[in-house]
Amino acid sequence: MSRIAARLAELGLTLPEPARPVATYVPYRVVGKEVWVSMQGSVSGERRYLGKLGAGLGLEEGNEAARLAFLNVLAQLREAAGGDLDRIAGLIRLTGFIASTPDFTDHAQVMNGASDLAVAILGEAGRHTRSTLGVAALPLDFAVGIDAVALLA
Amino acid sequence: MSRIAARLAELGLTLPEPARPVATYVPYRVVGKEVWVSMQGSVSGERRYLGKLGAGLGLEEGNEAARLAFLNVLAQLREAAGGDLDRIAGLIRLTGFIASTPDFTDHAQVMNGASDLAVAILGEAGRHTRSTLGVAALPLDFAVGIDAVALLA
Amino acid sequence: MSRIAARLAELGLTLPEPARPVATYVPYRVVGKEVWVSMQGSVSGERRYLGKLGAGLGLEEGNEAARLAFLNVLAQLREAAGGDLDRIAGLIRLTGFIASTPDFTDHAQVMNGASDLAVAILGEAGRHTRSTLGVAALPLDFAVGIDAVALLA
């Protein structure tokens, strides 16, 4: 078992099946050593975080939503890396789209769910630059969406 | 006539004049083989899609707005490619900014207007990663804005 | 004194201390010749621009907020360049996140504060592609957030 796969098991985490393309866009694209990943939503099978922070959804749920969206990103990266998570040499950028009311201001705490998980799983390679913003709404009412640019070894 | 130019003609489409820089930013920038394109709005001459999805603007208009914004992106890419659309080797990323009310959730269907058109025009090279989000508002009240990163041959 | 440092002094500007990482993400990351900078907010020490354009915050304040956010971006770039601003060969992309009410439409004018300053300080190297959007809210109630991708010599 690879180092990162072992780390996932240790954390008791299982990656979701990577979402298949449902339209004319693709979930990821490899350009040289970079992988660009399409925005992944906070949903996986039965688990789903919908709605808005500041209107019904609390910080803890937002945090879980960000973790789930990040696991979806990671599932795409594993696919892009030919199944081998150890080939992920680094995360360059995560952008966190947080569906929120205009008066919500704790977007960073929500997005920490993703950032902390990235480092817990990938170690130093999981450190990333980050932009976090509160959006009016997301497709399918996702509470959180995350896209990424990463580096393959 | 180039292959892609022929395809455009076949689809009955004409690219708008690429918008000129109106400020200290530029419409595109070539970095190695990558082209980064500034956000293009859903307006071209007399044609303009303004306002918000979920408040007056319907899905069909949103779709048309996304197509128009994408044609503006493509016009910039043609310029970046020295006028030759066949030099566009691939689209890496499209980000779709959809001005919407907080309760609108069909952003993906709106953005499909751009994604489907990209593949209709560019073929396999038109497949791209994509992030789509509902924003509170866009400059000049655009209904849709799209930015891009593409690859030149 | 470096050319750009002299230009800063001439403009009467001082770069803020680059914000330190407060979580598991990093303020910038160098990938080959590119530097990716995390979203920087419109706050520096005592100076802070919070709230929303279209609701209390006027255009002039928005403009100042964009300038401040850009100076924070530049402070990170200086750090990434080992302290030497002259090593910044170009700005590739600035994304301007403007916290605004749904009926505000002057986001471009707000963001010009950043774009004009980029060129005033960096000259031709300061010209950039740009995407500007009105977001529902930003972390910590920032009025403006800016992220960047730049090129080192």
By CB neighbour count within 10 A (0-12 exposed, 13-18 middle, 19+ buried), where does C58 fall? exposed
Q: What is the pTM of this model?
A: 0.97
Residues C66-90 have a mean pLDDT of 96
At C74, give phi and psi (nearest 5°): -65, -35
pLDDT on residue B24: 82
User: Are A105 and C28 in contact (CB < 8 Å)?
Assistant: no
Q: C146 is written with which tokens? A: 């800016």
With tokens 């208009």, the residue in question is B61
Which residues of chain B lie closer than 8 angstroms to C118, CB-CB? 24
Per-residue pLDDT reduced to its tens digit, C94-141: 999 999 999 999 999 999 999 999 999 999 999 999 999 999 999 999
At A27, give phi and psi (nearest 5°): -75, -30
Facing residue for C119 by CB, picked from B24, B28, B140: B24
Cα A48 to Cα A41: distance, rounded to the nearest angstrom: 9
User: Are B39 and C133 in contact (CB < 8 Å)?
Assistant: yes
Q: What is the CA radius of gyration of chain A?
A: 15
What per-residue string of b and e applies to A114-152 under the rule 16 or more CB within 10 Å gives b? bbbbbbbbbeebbbbbbbbbbbbbbbebbbbbbbbbbbb
At A18, give phi and psi (nearest 5°): -65, 130
Residues C43-47 have a mean pLDDT of 90
Q: C60 is written with which tokens? A: 């002039």
Which residues of chain C lie closer than 8 angstroms to B39, CB-CB? 130-133
Facing residue for A131 by CB, picked from C39, C52, C140: C39
User: Are A112 and C24 in contact (CB < 8 Å)?
Assistant: yes
Facing residue for A136 by CB, picked from B34, B135, B151: B135
Q: How many CA atoms lie within 13 A of A18 on its CB side?
A: 19
User: Are C135 and A131 in contact (CB < 8 Å)?
Assistant: no
Q: What is the CA radius of gyration of chain C?
A: 15
Facing residue for A129 by CB, picked from C25, C95, C138: C25
At C112, give phi and psi (nearest 5°): -55, -25
Strand-pairing partners, residue B129, are B93
pLDDT on residue A23: 72
- For chain A, residues with pLDDT lower than 70 are 1, 21-22
Tell whether A128 is covered by a domain.
Answer: yes
User: Are B39 and C126 in contact (CB < 8 Å)?
Assistant: no
Q: What is the DSSP letter of A20?
A: P
Q: Are C122 and C77 in contact (CB under 8 A)?
A: no
Tell whether C46 is covered by a domain.
Answer: yes
Residue C2, pLDDT > 90, answer no
Sequential pLDDT tens for chain B (153 residues): 689 999 999 999 989 988 876 678 999 999 999 999 999 999 998 899 999 999 989 999 999 999 999 999 999 999 999 999 999 999 999 999 999 999 999 999 999 999 999 999 999 999 999 999 999 999 999 999 999 999 999
Tell whether C26 is covered by a domain.
Answer: no
Tell whether C20 is covered by a domain.
Answer: no
Of the candidates A139, A32, A131, the residue with the CA atom closest to the CA atom of residue C139:
A131
pLDDT on residue C24: 82
Q: What is the CA radius of gyration of chain B?
A: 15
Q: Which helix (H) or strand (E) holds A131?
A: strand A129-135
Cα C149 to Cα A30: distance, rounded to the nearest angstrom: 19
Q: B43 is written with which tokens? A: 């307006």
Proportion of chain C above pLDDT 70, given as a percent = 98
Beta strands in chain B (DSSP E): 28-31, 34-41, 43-44, 47-48, 52-53, 56-57, 88-99, 129-135, 144-152
Domain that holds residue B57: 3-16+28-152
Q: B115 is written with which tokens? A: 């994604």
Sign of the alpha-carbon torsion through A77, A79, A80, A82: positive
Question: What total of structural domains would you count in chain B?
Answer: 1
- Where does the pLDDT of residue C23 fall: very low under 50, low under 70, confident under 90, or very high at 90 and above? confident
Tell whether C68 is covered by a domain.
Answer: yes
- Where does the pLDDT of residue C142 fall: very low under 50, low under 70, confident under 90, or very high at 90 and above? very high
Tell whether C22 is covered by a domain.
Answer: no
Residues C21-46 have a mean pLDDT of 92
Tell whether A22 is covered by a domain.
Answer: no
pLDDT on residue A141: 97
pLDDT on residue B23: 72
The whole-angstrom distance between residue B141's C-alpha and the CA centroid of its chain comes to 16
Tell whether A20 is covered by a domain.
Answer: no
CATH code of B54's domain:
3.30.1330.40
Please report, as a single letter, which amino acid is at residue B89: A
First vs last C-alpha separation in chain A: 18
Of the candidates A70, A4, A10, A17, the residue with the CA atom closest to the CA atom of residue A39:
A70
Strand-pair category, C43-44 with C34-41: unpaired
Q: A77 is written with which tokens? A: 């990266």
Of the candidates C143, C116, C148, the residue with the CA atom closest to the CA atom of residue C51:
C143
Three-class secondary structure of residue A26 per DSSP: coil
∠ CA C80-C84-C90, rounded to 5°: 70
With tokens 């499909």, the residue in question is B112
Q: Looking at this predicted complex, what is its ipTM? A: 0.95
